[in-house]
């Protein structure tokens, strides 16, 4: 029970794959992302056959409109 706030570091931002691997290694279950960053994640995961971490339960978006693409 409880939670931990994890702030991203520069190493996590080298690539989308590095970001997702870091999320997996820290067992992050909830992400709060800018919509534009989510679009980048969605594009990279499809283009490069990368899976979202199995530990993720919820992704919250905010800041701008979602794209339907």
Q: Which helix (H) or strand (E) holds 37?
A: helix 35-47
Query: Whose CA is closest to 27, among 53, 7, 51, 59?
Result: 53
| pLDDT, one tens digit for every residue, the chain (69 residues) | 788 999 989 999 999 999 999 999 999 999 999 999 999 999 999 999 999 999 999 999 887 777 766
pTM: 0.84
């Amino acid at each position: 029970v409880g939670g931990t706030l994890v702030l991203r570091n520069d190493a996590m931002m080298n690539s989308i794959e590095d970001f997702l691997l870091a999320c997996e290694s820290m067992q992050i279950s909830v992400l709060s992302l800018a919509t534009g960053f989510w679009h980048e994640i969605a594009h990279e995961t499809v283009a490069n056959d990368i899976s979202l971490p199995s530990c993720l339960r919820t992704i919250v978006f905010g800041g701008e409109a979602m794209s339907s693409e």
